[in-house]
Each structure stands twice: as C-alpha cells, then as structure tokens.
Structure 1
C-alpha cells in the first residue's frame, strides 16, 4: 500500500502546533484515483493550448484532495479530465485501477455556476431526476433519497421551490445534494464557492466538511484560494502557472476554519504563495 505523503512544510519551531481535530485526520486507505504523467491540451481558433504538462498525483479513499494554483494553470481542465470530459494527449487517469475513458456516475461534478439546475424542475425534481435516469431508481425510491440529501444540506423545506426563487448559496447546496445523492466514488468540485460572498462561502465550507464527516466522501476540489485550500483539503497539489506542472504536494489536515488567524496558518499561506508566485518570478 502506498504511503500518503507527509507534510511538505513543518510548523516553525517557535510556533505551537495546533490541536488537530481527530475526525479530520486522514486514516490510511487504499488508492482510489491515480493521475499518471497527464498532459492535457485544448484547441482554440488560433492554436492548440497546453493546459497541463506531465502531472501525476494519487487520491486515496476518504481524501479531501485540492488542486491549487493561479488562473490558467489547468486545474479545472484537469478536473474535467478526471470527470471523463477530456482525454489526455499523454499519460492516463485511473479510477480503481481502470483507465477513465469517459464520464460516469462514479464521478459527479459540482461546477461554479449557480445556474446548473434546470429551471423548470423543482428542487426535489432536480435531485431525483438523475437518480431515475442514471441509477434506474423508481419514482418513490428516488424521491426518498433526494429528500434525505436535501435534508442533509438543510433544504428539505424548499423541496417544492423552483431554482429562480433560491439564493446563489442555496442553489449550490441543491447541486451538492444532487451530487451526493448519486453516491459517487469521487465528488469533483470546480471552484464551487468562488462566486459567493465571504460569509456564505465560509458557511458552505463548514457544510461541506460536515458532509464529508457524515458521508465519508472522497473529494477532489479545485480552487485558486490558498486559504480555502488549507481549510477544505487534507492534501494539496500545487500547480505552476500555465502550463500547469506539479510544484509541490503537502498535507493540511491540521487546519480548520478556526486556524485562519493563527501564526502557523498564516506562515503556510505565505510559503504557498512564495512557491506559486515568487519562485516563478525569480526563475
């Protein structure tokens, strides 16, 4: 069994190590997802653009694995490749030892856009419909599971509402409930909270971590926010500016939202910023 990498940066000797909530420490687990020397390209009207170059990483069962990097580093393109929407030009992506060759119900994506819900369907119908189509559930079973996950995200009483009556944060919670109801092997999230205000974003991060605790999710999360990566993730892959290459990998399970004002948290933010930007400028 492959070992999960240790933290890249130790907390400075003069800083007190924060207490680690035991429920957020990742247990040793089996490798679930493997990206092996993945190079991704996409075509514009003018040319072919290389999004990532020779990227490798492993995601273990129960991980909260974050892809972190500046805009244009290919992190969202990499997430789409894991989802099966894009085929690598070199390398491979494997799930449970099988090469990913297209989309599947074992990998569900929650996107940044709020309007990812069909507006003519109620909240309940938005969550239940994929279950009936992809999971071949009957109407009653799909309704029961949909209501269960709407309750998990605190929206059971809005089951009969339509998307246009919901706030942005509520729409994202519906999208998360729809994804969780499918019970995927890996939940893929592409900057899902980026467009939210600061207070709503914090609340959504709290809810996501609570759902991870309850549902034992495996999460692959894309963000360009260093603070969000440290809070949401237990492991972080740093990608260089375009084209995305692996700069470093580190553990962050010791941090929570209560860590943000602490010395060791701010030191980690500063170190990651230097890795992502200042060393690139120096080079």
Structure 2
C-alpha cells in the first residue's frame, strides 16, 4: 500500500553536548516538506550531523535538547526513520543481498522468501541483481553506495536521513547516483546533508544553511524549476549566494 508522505517541523530547537560551554544549535526552526528533499549546508562543525543523528535517535542520552520535533500526522518520529551515512557500512562477511536485508537481522525478524524477493527486486532497481551473491569488497565505491541505497529502501520508512552519501564518489558516478536516489525515493521525505552547493541546488525542494555559533537555520530561495534540476543560470546564482554565505560564516 502506498504511504502518504509526511512532513516534519523543527521548532525553536537547541542542542548542546554535556560539559561544553556553547550550544551547537540554538533557536533553530525548519519546515521539512512532505515528499520532498530538504538539503542542509553549513561549515564543518555547524551541527548538521549532530542534528541528523539526534533525529535518528542516535544521540538521545548524549546531548541536551530543547525544542519540538513534530510530525505532520502528530505521531512520534521514532521507528519511522532510515539513516544513510557517508560510509556505506556494509558488513564485509555478508553477501550483497544479505546486506540489503540487514535491518531484518538487527530486528531479529525472519528473512522469509518474501523478504528475499523484495531485496532482489530492489537490487534489480539499483542495477545490481547480477552481483547479489558478491561480497562488498569486490564492488566499486559507486556499487557499494547503491547497495546501501537498496538497504535504505528495504526499511520502507517515511523519513530518510542522508549524511553526505555521495561525497566520496567521482563526479559522473555521483551525478548518476543522485538521479537514481531521487527517482527511487519519490514520495519519501528526505533530509540530505551535503557540503556541495551544486548538489544541494540540484536536489532540494527546500534548502537551509546552518550559520552562526551556535547555529541557526537560514532558508534559501530556490529556482522555480523542479528537482532534480539542470544547472542553469538561475541555479548558478543560488550557488553563488550559498558560497557567499558560507564564506561569511567561516570568517
């Protein structure tokens, strides 16, 4: 059954690590539209990854948090997130198809023939059905990230958090994987961290830059064309503004 996309509101949020004088985030508010990609940029140390990891439930006992995180259906965010990290995090002793099914193993769910069939269908979608029995170390970087994408899709969560998953790839592979991810994650609500203004402008339905110390979120207007965008003159102007804001924040 097709899921109705869900949006997210982050309202007046603050995040501080214990025993650190200055908060990382303060008075941060963002609207994450349902069924779109929201891209986050910011200098190193601005709190992008900390925010994503908090939303994923990976920092609950390690940070002090203030503010509200509200799903558009009023239900809790927990258990409704899939997280795709910069590293593919494939287990080297498991085959490609077994890596795709990893969430079932972690949740101690039985891998039935139906589950395996779903995994194989996803590998077919990402163009890796022929290497389903291969070990990760035999694959290229781009192929490994496609396995990670299939594993993310296998979880079938409404919210997808992506922390620079394309950053280690060459330009052509990166462009192709952006397109593939955008196609396969349609109707999902995606938050993507990136250091690449071109990637952000290409993929974003909404775009924020985290600026300041502690950081707040500044909304950046995007071209009227729909993502994934061609990099035209309007897109180049937005990229130029992003670079200007980032340079100011590093000063």
What TM-score do you get using the length of structure 1 for normalisation? 0.78
Q: Is the 8 A contact 1:234 1:253 kept in 2?
A: no
Q: Is the 8 A contact 1:234 1:252 kept in 2?
A: no
Length, aligned pairs only: 244
* Alpha-carbon spacing, 1:255–1:268, altered in 2? closer, same or farther (3 Å): farther
Q: Which one of the candidate residues 192, 211, 215 is aligned to 2:184?
A: 211
- Name the residue aligned to 1:263: 233
Q: Is the 8 A contact 1:128 1:145 kept in 2?
A: no
How do residues 1-283 of structure 1 correspond to structure 2 at under 5 angstroms? 32-43=7-18, 47=20, 50-87=23-60, 88-95=64-71, 96-100=73-77, 104=79, 106-114=80-88, 116-131=89-104, 133-134=106-107, 136-213=109-186, 216-252=187-223, 254=225, 259-260=230-231, 262-278=232-248, 281=251
Give me the whole-angstrom Cα distance separating, in 1, the residues matched to 2:22 and 2:95: 40
SS of 1:196's partner is coil
Superposition RMSD in Å: 2.4
**Runs of 5+ unmatched residues, structure 2:** none
Q: Is the 8 A contact 1:132 1:142 kept in 2?
A: no
Give me the whole-angstrom Cα distance separating, in 1, the residues matched to 2:76 and 2:227: 34
Give me the whole-angstrom Cα distance separating, in 1, the residues matched to 2:92 and 2:170: 23
Q: Which runs of 4+ in 1 moved over 6 A?
A: none
What TM-score do you get using the length of structure 2 for normalisation? 0.87
Give me the whole-angstrom Cα distance separating, in 1, the residues matched to 2:131 and 2:40: 33
Q: Is the 8 A contact 1:51 1:243 kept in 2?
A: yes
